[in-house]
Amino acid sequence: GNSVTQMEGPVTLSEEAFLTINCTYTATGYPSLFWYVQYPGEGLQLLLKATKADDKGSNKGFEATYRKETTSFHLEKGSVQVSDSAVYFCALTGTGANNLFFGTGTRLTVIP
């Protein structure tokens, strides 16, 4: 079945550091891939997505590229800010699926 494996946290970085959170997936068919973010005290919200191989999703300075050959969708940001402190979830869906399959989440803390 469809599943995602993401890098275990927590991750602590200094402000302006480079961020990578790894995500790999297993899926039948051609899933769409997503990163969701949960800021403290808020519900999960969509950060970015990619719907086919080699697509790059981007938002708020974050990027992730859909790599079919390595079944990966790693999240990157060149320079993190304190306000990026949150829990990040990788997710995927299959064609016609009614739901998303989520990873375990990675907590990021950015210190000034």
Residue 34, interface with another protein (CB under 8 A)?
yes
- Paired tokens of 38: 């949960």
Contacts of 62 (CB under 8 A, 6+ apart): 35, 47, 48, 75, 76, 77
| Token code pair at residue 46 | 């969509």
Q: Which of residues 48-87 bind another protein (CB under 8 A)?
A: 49
Q: Does 100 bind another protein (CB under 8 A)?
A: yes
Q: Is 4 in the site for another protein (CB under 8 A)?
A: yes
Pairing of strands 106-111, 11-14: parallel
| The residue to which tokens 């995500």 are assigned | 23
| 46 touches another protein by CB under 8 A | yes
105 interacts with another protein by CB under 8 A:
yes
Q: Which is nearer to another protein, 1 or 112 (CB)?
A: 1
Residue 70 burial (C-beta neighbours within 10 Å; 0-12, 13-18, 19+): exposed
Residue 28 interacting with another protein (CB under 8 A): no
Least Cβ distance, residue 17 to another protein (angstroms): 26
Residues engaged in binding another protein (CB under 8 A): 4, 32, 34, 38, 41-46, 49, 89, 91, 93, 98-105
